[in-house]
Structure 1
Amino acid sequence: MYSTEFGCFLPPLHDPTVSPYAALQHDIELCGLVDDLGFDEIWLGEHHSSGWSTLSAPDLLIAALARETRRIRFATGVIPLPYHHPVHIAERILLLDHLTAGRVILGCGTGTYVHDMEMIGVDAGSLRAHFRAALEVVQALLDGQVVDVTTPWFTAKRAVLQLRPVRRPIETVVASSLGEEAIDLLTATGTTPTVHVVPPWGAVRPGLDADPLSSLVQRVATYRNKAGGTAARIRCNVFVHLADSAARGVDELLPGWSAQRRDLYRNILGMPIPDSPAAHRRTLESLVDSGAFVVGDTAACARQIRELVGSLGGPVTLVFLVPGWLTHRATLDQVTAIANEVIPTVLGGFEGTAESIRLTSAEAGRQMKRRAALR
């Protein structure tokens, strides 16, 4: 794997005014395009309530996509371990490993929607302990161990998996805030983090976090120091939007972003987000101004992404958030532009042709002068 890789993250969110069948077809089309464009991995999320979060089984979608794609790696983004028996999680991930010919990543977390937990009797108060116990069992099973354990939440008796990974050990990634307790979990379990620059709603109020990038870089540095070096890969979810200018990009994003922010996060999930057009605009503008959302033309976006990668250090995968704030067609166009314009610029893919043009032009100029001197 290269030091810097690129992926896409599809949260399990679908506009409830769009047919659920059509929304899933859009997801399938987008995943096929991301594979064709050469992205390294794609993350598919899981939620179980709210009317917006209708992708409830990312493993099933990955299985459906396995034969429709060639090279991209699939990650569950993320499976809430407390919602499932850990033996079943380990079994399904290993089956996916076989169905995808070794292209699966286990992304896991605690879960976030309270109603998801209430529907199946998960105690939000014991969520972290439940998650830790489940993670340890899943890891042991994936390592080929026989597990005997009884916890307040599940029991495993002489549990063993019948399958083994196709090519290599299955990577386990944990959705993390990189707080002190989260870093302790990562280092103790030997897992790696996936972290948002900022969550999709950005900030509850404009300017609430004036410098989110510096905060993220500090937390990543703390994690790397505690993990014993820079070898561990960091996955960082970042939103990027290409537009003629940052101001034009804000105008393009504001209707879809503010609608999701208002209808899902404020009205359904109960977040104390001010609901006025001015507040939504100011919050979005502050996110763009701080670099938390990367918005602008190709050169500006590439420059910000280079700076972010340099600040994070070590091996990093930038995972571009695809949150559904635009129409489906506009989303496909944005992902294509990121792959064809921004990523090559970040990686220096245009430098060879630019240098050849410069040298050829310079030589042509010298030849013209020689010919003129001989006349």
Structure 2
Amino acid sequence: MHSKAFGCFLPPFHDPSVSPPASLKHDIELCGLVDDLGFDEIWLGEHHSSGWSTLSSPEMLIAALARETRRIRFATGVIPLPYHHPVHVAERIVLLDHLTAGRAILGCGTGTYVHDMEMIGVDPSTLRAHFRAALKTVQALINGETVDTATPWFTAKKAVLQLRPLRGGIETVVASSLGDPGIELLTETETTPTVHVVPPWGMIRPGMDKDPVGSLIERIEAYRNKAAGATRVRCNVFVHIADSPAAGIDELLAGFSSLRRGLYRNVLGMPIPDSPVAHRKTMETLVDTGAFIIGDAATCTGMIRDLMDRIGDPVSLNFFVPQWIPYPATLEQLTAISNEILPALVGGFDGTAESMRLTSEEAARQMKARTEIDNGGSK
């Protein structure tokens, strides 16, 4: 993978007013588009309750997409390890590794929705320890080890995988806030992190963090100082191309407000003020602090380049795709990001710009020479 890579993060959100088959069809079409557009990877989430978060098995969707795509890598974004037996997680990701011809990434985390945990008897107070034990077991199995272990949450007896990774290993990425415990886990397990520029956006309030990007960079630096060597950081960021930040906010506000109200406030019970002024102020704060990148293509490119420079190489930037705008407009946004922003970030326009400069200079010299000849001949 190149030192800089670009992908998409597709959360498991589906508008309850849209039919489930239509929502899933949109997900499949979107994944096919980002493959055609040349994105490096796409992350597909998992939740089990709320009515909004209806993608319950990213592995099944990835298996369906494997035959519909050619080159893009697929990441589970993320599998909550405490919800599953680690032997089954390891088996499924290795099977996906074969079905996708080596394009599977294991993205894992602890889980977030309390009702997801309640439905299957997972104790939220044990998540960290449960996750750590499960991750250790999954890694050992993927590495070809036979595992015998008994924990308060699962048991594995002479557990071994019948299939082994297609090409010797599977990349494992952990969702992390990069706090001290998270950094310790990453370095201990030799995994890499995926982080949001800001925390789950339903919880954002104006004034919560006056410099979210600066806070993120500090956490990344702390992680890299403790990790051995240069390690890849995946960063999820929201980008929207519009004539101006104000115009972009106007385009996004209805969908942004609907998700905050419908999911985070009404279903998850978060104390979010539900007024047009409050929702707009929240989004304006996210834009003003650089947590959301909204503006014309040149503005977005400059802000993304600055963010990536501050994160440092190697970095993968994944564009968050919450579909706050109508589905056709979402596809247009991804196309514009691919065609207008990504080439500028990797020097894709440099050759044509240099050719135009040199050609213009040569044309000016030739014109000057012809003018001098003509003037000399007229004497």
Shorter-chain TM-score above 0.5: yes
Query: Which residue of structure 2 lines up, in the alignment, with residue 187 of structure 1?
Result: 187
1:202–1:284 Cα contact (<8 Å) kept: no
1:76–1:108 Cα contact (<8 Å) kept: yes
Structure 2 letter corresponding to 1:232: T
Distance 1:367 1:267 in 2: 71
Structure 2 letter corresponding to 1:26: H
Cα deviations by residue, 1:317-362 (Å, 9 ceiling, x for unpaired)? 0000001211110000000110111111111211111111111112
SS across alignment from 2:266: helix
Cα deviations by residue, 1:201-234 (Å, 9 ceiling, x for unpaired)? 26532121110000000000000001133x2110
Structure 2 unaligned spans of 5+: 375-379
Query: Which residue of structure 2 lines up, in the alignment, with residue 98 of structure 1?
Result: 98
Task: Report 1:228-243 matches (<5 A).
Answer: 228-229=228-229, 231-243=230-242
Task: Report 1:249-268 matches (<5 A).
Answer: 249-268=248-267
1:148–1:159 Cα contact (<8 Å) kept: yes
Structure 1 unaligned spans of 5+: none
SS across alignment from 2:201: coil
SS across alignment from 1:295: strand
Deviates more, 1:175-184 or 1:343-352: 343-352
Query: Which residue of structure 1 lines up, in the alignment, with residue 312 of structure 2?
Result: 313
Query: Which residue of structure 2 lines up, in the alignment, with residue 322 of structure 1?
Result: 321
Distance 1:266 1:179 in 2: 26
Structure 2 letter corresponding to 1:96: L
Question: Is the counterpart of residue 134 in structure 1 residue 143 in structure 2?
Answer: no
SS across alignment from 2:220: helix
Query: Which residue of structure 2 lines up, in the alignment, with residue 108 of structure 1?
Result: 108
Q: CA 1:273 to 1:349, structure 2 compared with 1: closer, same or farther past 3 Å? A: same
Query: Which residue of structure 1 lines up, in the alignment, with residue 219 of structure 2?
Result: 219
Structure 1 letter corresponding to 2:220: V
1:76–1:106 Cα contact (<8 Å) kept: yes
Query: Which residue of structure 2 lines up, in the alignment, with residue 66 of structure 1?
Result: 66
Structure 2 letter corresponding to 1:40: D
Per-residue deviation, 1:199: 3.2
Query: Which residue of structure 1 lines up, in the alignment, with residue 52 of structure 2?
Result: 52
2:50–2:267 Cα contact (<8 Å) kept: yes
Query: Which residue of structure 2 lines up, in the alignment, with residue 157 of structure 1?
Result: 157
Per-residue deviation, 1:200: 4.6
Distance 1:315 1:195 in 2: 14
Q: CA RMSD in A?
A: 0.9
Cα deviations by residue, 1:47-97 (Å, 9 ceiling, x for unpaired)? 000000110000000000001100110000000000000000000000000
SS across alignment from 1:336: helix
Structure 2 letter corresponding to 1:305: I
Per-residue deviation, 1:256: 0.5
Distance 1:64 1:258 in 2: 32
Per-residue deviation, 1:159: 0.2
Query: Which residue of structure 1 lines up, in the alignment, with residue 121 of structure 2?
Result: 121
SS across alignment from 2:174: strand
Structure 2 letter corresponding to 1:357: M
Query: Which residue of structure 2 lines up, in the alignment, with residue 204 of structure 1?
Result: 204
Distance 1:203 1:71 in 2: 35
Per-residue deviation, 1:274: 1.2
Query: Which residue of structure 2 lines up, in the alignment, with residue 27 of structure 1?
Result: 27
Structure 1 letter corresponding to 2:101: A
Structure 2 letter corresponding to 1:319: N
Structure 1 letter corresponding to 2:30: L
Per-residue deviation, 1:314: 2.2
Structure 1 letter corresponding to 2:191: T
Cα deviations by residue, 1:131-180 (Å, 9 ceiling, x for unpaired)? 11100000000000000011111110000000111113101100000000
Query: Which residue of structure 1 lines up, in the alignment, with residue 15 of structure 2?
Result: 15
Structure 1 letter corresponding to 2:355: S
Deviates more, 1:46-55 or 1:200-209: 200-209
Q: CA 1:204 to 1:180, structure 2 compared with 1: closer, same or farther past 3 Å? A: same
SS across alignment from 1:361: helix
Structure 2 letter corresponding to 1:183: I
Query: Which residue of structure 1 lines up, in the alignment, with residue 37 of structure 2?
Result: 37
Aligned length: 374
Percent identical pairs in the alignment equals 73
Poorly superposed stretches of 4+, deviation over 3 Å: none
Per-residue deviation, 1:286: 1.0
Distance 1:142 1:372 in 2: 73
Distance 1:55 1:203 in 2: 21
Structure 2 letter corresponding to 1:157: K
SS across alignment from 1:318: strand
Structure with larger Rg: 2
Per-residue deviation, 1:266: 1.1
2:202–2:264 Cα contact (<8 Å) kept: no
SS across alignment from 1:162: coil
2:203–2:264 Cα contact (<8 Å) kept: no
Distance 1:71 1:175 in 2: 24
Structure 2 letter corresponding to 1:336: T
Distance 1:228 1:133 in 2: 22
Structure 1 letter corresponding to 2:314: P
Query: Which residue of structure 1 lines up, in the alignment, with residue 270 of structure 2?
Result: 271
